[in-house]
Chains A and B, each alone.
Chain A
Amino acid sequence: MTRVRRWEPCVYHRGTHADAFMKDYLAQPDRSILLIAGAGFDPRSTRVADTFPEKARKKTRAILIREERPNPDDILIKRAVKNRDALVAAFPQSEEHEIQIFASDNAVVGGRGSARLMRSIPLDGVTDIFVDISALSIGVAFPIIKHFHEVLKQNPQIQANLHVVSCDSPVIDGTITSAPSDAAAPIHGFRGGWGLDEKSKAAILWMPQLSRGKGVILERIFQMLRNVQPDTVVCPILPFPSSRPRRPDELIEEFAEELEGAWSVDVRDLVYADEKSPLDLYRTILRIDDARRRVFESVGGSQIILSPLGSKALSLGALMASLERDFTILHVESIGYIVSEGQTESIDTTEELVHIWLDGDAYGKTDAMEGTPK
């Protein structure tokens, strides 16, 4: 039994189409925009702002978020300040907010802090909420998106559209190395019943999105998963088709020890998702969930756990699947970043803008249909 999917069809743009959409849409005079964006060291911080027409910028209320982590590098601070200044100059109605990602005892509190901040923002008169995740970590961005998604769902009187935009650049992603914290945990708001007694008999499937250099993070998540659920089965997600055709092979080589050893992955358990299409991943995950629900319904149910680690654009697919089916998202927050010298100063030429219209006018009033069997 296949269930109706919330974002099937979905309004989605990429590359020049996304740029064109943003310019046309934002130029409409009746738009009252709320923009949530990161003002960090990432050069992509200002990329989405560039697509805003001059008139739209002036009337946009921009909430600029600075993710604060312990002992940042001086170079990163300088870059963050430069980006922040550019954003403040671009949006006269901007507000800057700091979000502490870690508490004094190194516990991850950024997600909770961002949700709290969003709750304090009034939506009166706002026609469009744009969440730009280009320079936000997913531990902060996902709770923000979920907050607005739920607010719009629970308050039909708020007539606003929710858009998510991201500047996808594998090259820039490759130049930023994160130092992971030592705790793997669900992203705030994305627990998905994980750890509950009623889920204790469920067949657990962990779907990590494989990405270069993320072995330690995945090992940490896996160890934590097995610590709690010894019966976890692993189905890794590989980017295919990919801008680099050999990427899946390289990832299999990099993770060979895990795939053959601790994870015990059968070759039939590898999941492929188009690197450039979050919707492909979204559909793939839901298809797998549909199949598993049927099979495991009578023996304790099925539970899918996601760990999106690759490109931000692809991680949106995991976000959408999780928003729709309440999947758990396990994540290891970064305690700091290291950037390759000179690499992240400028925008990469291969970068592409991704836009997904999550809620609002494009879908009519379909919320009541969510989860209804076809």
Chain B
Amino acid sequence: MENPFHRRATEQLRDDEAFLSIVSPQPLTYFLKRPAEQGTLYDRLVLFRGTPGSGKTTLARLFEFSALSAVLRSTGSKEYESVAGALEQCGAIRDGLPTVVGCRLPMETDYRDFWEFPYSEALRSGLLFTFIQARALLAWFRHLQAAGIAESDISIVPRSDSASALGTIGGDSGAAVVQKAREVERAVYDVVGALVAPQESDLPAAVTGTYRPFDVIERIEITSRTLTHGKRLQLTPLVILDDAHWLHPSQFEAVRHWLARRELRIARWVITRFDILQPGEALAVVAEDRTERPSYPGLSATRDVESVLLQSWGQRRVQRTAFRRMARDMAERYLQKHSLLGPRRLVDIGSLLSEEPAPISEAKLNELSKQVAATQKRLKITDSRRIELEAIVEASRKGDTGISSDIRLAMLAILMHRYSKRTKGQASLFEDDPEPSRPLVADPGVFEAAKLHLLHRYERPYFFGADDLCDASSENAELFLRLSAILVDTVATQVIRSKPAILDASTQHRLLRERARRIIEHWNFPYFEKVRKLVTTIATKCVETSVQPNGWLTPNSYGVLQSEFDSLATSNPETARVLQFAVAYNAILVVPRYDCKGKEWCLLEMGGPLCLAHGLTLKRGGFLEGSATEIASMLEENPQ
């Protein structure tokens, strides 16, 4: 029985049809519709940022010409209808015809090596640009040919001011352009692949010559019987530099400035990992090596670059709602492909995960009741005050489905402690039931704290329901699939055993926590041990605070002043580096510029698996105040 949720990354799907059948169009519309409508998507450099698994490559792959033509081949198919609609909204398809020819160049290998050459920075950058251009041209032609368009049916439309430069890229005919691009690619590849880089004077002319197709090409013209019905069609070439964070920071800057030039007519996207610390590091590196640094005048980031942040940016509530919608859509597509659940139309993840809370057992309830009575006695709370507090608890959930007895008792205990704190020093010989200094309310914070108290004392299920599943995924598609996989497997087992196709709260809670612990145990990325040490310390502190009797705070974040965080890369590079990888691998989410108590904070929010494993709230905003120095001391082996 194949569970498609186990195939986490869409990169693992070989053919375009399989890829398209599971890809959700939601992020496409969410992230790209606006820039497409504003006309900035194919007009200037677009910089995408996101964590691993946030769907960067999936997004890029949709715009590769092979995927685009697969969508068009299946026009009318219900399966691809929504994807085709989204691509139309993004301007990649118009009137049933493609408007762009996209190619994706993964930057993981080869490209960074240019930085290691013993040449001037200008020559190193030149070699990199030449390599990118040759490979982009070859990739465009490869995609077009894969779609059944013959090389002879492809030609280059030059920019009006660059027609004379056509010769430098081989001419305007498809075959000649490909031939030239292959020669250049091979020549540069031989330089990159050489064990020891050749002397600058020994570099072949093909490598150092003037080869700038991006400056020459305006459009790629094609004729295709199947795609364009024999008519000539002009396409905007789109180059997508995927995973550009593998480049050296100086190379990245050079590429950014090179592609941000407004005179370029091709569309260009750069996709990098979301990494808030990298700019600081990059600046430090650039500052170190000032001697050969070319200047890039006349560029303004806002005018020349469109930024798309794929995760944890903008209004957090909106982001979370949008992710829930996207995740549910994605789950439906995956469930349709499930060999057992798909044919039974069990494709709504929400209907598979019960949202009915599971209260604690009678015996535990009795124990809790006794504990609350003992608390009342210890804090010297009168019976009449208790009745008043109970009324406050009742009133807090008016109109709701009601509160179970265990939550009611836990909330009451919290209010008793708050009452006790707010009456401290007020008791006198003549008054045994003083009024609190501030009125008591049973707000959602008390309700949340009560649930967490029950989780930590009685292991009452806390994480269940589709919304919790989405929220625990830290707005990361891959993490969502990894967490969902185990739940879907269990639903399938229940179906096989002729049991209802729905998981109760206890099962969901247990499975999610187990999976989260497993994910953390299997962390294996640079500095993962230090990251684990840091987040475990923070999470433990958060738990200690969450279970405080008066439930004053239910944190899942650690806050440092924004000014301190901004200078972290220079003041404490080691801590910054650990945090960089913690962020890059979703252990921590950085929430910058969070206003609280008149100060600007940067929150280090625990990722979903950590909240699940340690039993922290998934609600946002609660944080422990700290400092960069404390973070550094947490990382020390034997903190004093």
Question: Are the C-beta atoms of A227 and B285 separated by less than 8 Å?
Answer: no
| A103-B248, A109-B116, A216-B524 known; A189+B193 contact, CB < 8 A | yes
Stretch at the interface among A174-182, A275-283, A288-296, A365-373: A174-182
| A107-B115, A231-B14 known; A188+B195 contact, CB < 8 A | yes
Stretch at the interface among A15-23, A32-40, A190-198: A190-198
CB within 8 Å of B: which A209-231 residues: 216, 223-224, 226-228, 230-231
Docked CA distance A315–B351 (Å): 51
- Is B124 located at the chain interface by the 8 A CB criterion? no
- Is B182 located at the chain interface by the 8 A CB criterion? yes
For A112, what are the chain B residues with a Cβ–Cβ distance below 8 Å?
Answer: 113, 116
Stretch at the interface among B102-110, B488-496, B556-564: B102-110
Tell me whether chain B's interface is mostly helix, strand or loop, or mixed. helix
Question: Which of the listed residues B11, B135, B181 has the most CB atoms from chain A within 10 Å of its own CB?
Answer: B11
| Option from A103, A109, A185 in Cβ contact (under 8 Å) with B109 | A185
- Is B317 located at the chain interface by the 8 A CB criterion? no
Report the minimum CB–CB distance from A176 to chain B (whole Å): 15
Query: Contact residues of A with B, CB < 8 Å?
Result: 71, 103-107, 109, 112, 115-116, 119, 143, 146-147, 150, 179-186, 188-189, 191, 193-198, 200, 216, 223-224, 226-228, 230-231, 257, 261-262, 335, 338
For A103, what are the chain B residues with a Cβ–Cβ distance below 8 Å?
Answer: 115-116, 248
- Is B185 located at the chain interface by the 8 A CB criterion? yes
Docked CA distance A320–B142 (Å): 33
Docked CA distance A228–B108 (Å): 9
Docked CA distance A197–B145 (Å): 13
Question: Are the C-beta atoms of A179 and B529 separated by less than 8 Å?
Answer: yes
Question: Which of the listed residues A106, A195, A261, A335 has the most CB atoms from chain B within 10 Å of its own CB?
Answer: A195
Docked CA distance A112–B138 (Å): 28
Residue of B nearest to A119 (CB): B196
- Is B378 located at the chain interface by the 8 A CB criterion? no
Residue of A nearest to B193 (CB): A191
Residue of B nearest to A232 (CB): B14
Docked CA distance A230–B67 (Å): 13
- Is B574 located at the chain interface by the 8 A CB criterion? yes
Question: Are the C-beta atoms of B526 and A182 separated by less than 8 Å?
Answer: yes
Question: Are the C-beta atoms of B6 and A197 separated by less than 8 Å?
Answer: no
Report the minimum CB–CB distance from A219 to chain B (whole Å): 9
| Option from A106, A194, A197, A216 in Cβ contact (under 8 Å) with B138 | A197
Per-residue A-contact encoding for B2-19, CB less than 8 Å = 1, 0 else: 000011010111110000
Question: Are the C-beta atoms of A224 and B195 separated by less than 8 Å?
Answer: no
Selected A-B contacts with CB under 8 Å, 6 pairs = A107-B246, A184-B108, A189-B193, A195-B110, A197-B182, A335-B526
For A116, what are the chain B residues with a Cβ–Cβ distance below 8 Å?
Answer: 196
Minimum-distance CB pairs A-B, first 4: A216-B524, A197-B138, A115-B195, A189-B195
Question: Are the C-beta atoms of A227 and B106 separated by less than 8 Å?
Answer: yes
Count chain B residues whose beta carbon lies closer than 8 angstroms to a beta carbon of A: 46
For A119, what are the chain B residues with a Cβ–Cβ distance below 8 Å?
Answer: 195-196
Report the minimum CB–CB distance from A203 to chain B (whole Å): 13
Taking A150-B195, A182-B584, A231-B14 as known contacts, 11 extra A-B pairs with beta carbons closer than 8 A to each other, sorted by chain A number, are: A106-B526, A112-B116, A182-B525, A191-B110, A196-B186, A197-B139, A197-B181, A223-B9, A223-B12, A230-B11, A335-B526
- Is B112 located at the chain interface by the 8 A CB criterion? yes
Question: Are the C-beta atoms of B12 and A226 separated by less than 8 Å?
Answer: yes
Residue of A nearest to B578 (CB): A71
Docked CA distance A219–B482 (Å): 15
- Is B555 located at the chain interface by the 8 A CB criterion? no
Report the minimum CB–CB distance from B55 to chain A (whole Å): 14
Question: Which of the listed residues B11, B110, B196, B574 has the most CB atoms from chain A within 10 Å of its own CB?
Answer: B196
For B12, what are the chain A residues with a Cβ–Cβ distance below 8 Å?
Answer: 223, 226, 262
Docked CA distance A119–B199 (Å): 13
Docked CA distance A109–B246 (Å): 13
Report the minimum CB–CB distance from A3 to chain B (whole Å): 23
Docked CA distance A189–B57 (Å): 28
Residue of A nearest to B66 (CB): A230
| Option from B15, B285, B526, B574 in Cβ contact (under 8 Å) with A230 | B15
CB within 8 Å of A: which B272-295 residues: 281, 285
For B246, what are the chain A residues with a Cβ–Cβ distance below 8 Å?
Answer: 107, 183
Residue of A nearest to B135 (CB): A197
Question: Are the C-beta atoms of B195 and A71 separated by less than 8 Å?
Answer: no
Report the minimum CB–CB distance from A323 to chain B (whole Å): 12
- Is B497 located at the chain interface by the 8 A CB criterion? no
Question: Are the C-beta atoms of B189 and A196 separated by less than 8 Å?
Answer: yes
| Option from B116, B186, B526 in Cβ contact (under 8 Å) with A179 | B526
| Option from B6, B138, B195 in Cβ contact (under 8 Å) with A147 | B195
Docked CA distance A333–B524 (Å): 13
Question: Which of the listed residues B113, B139, B285, B524 has the most CB atoms from chain A within 10 Å of its own CB?
Answer: B524
Docked CA distance A324–B57 (Å): 35
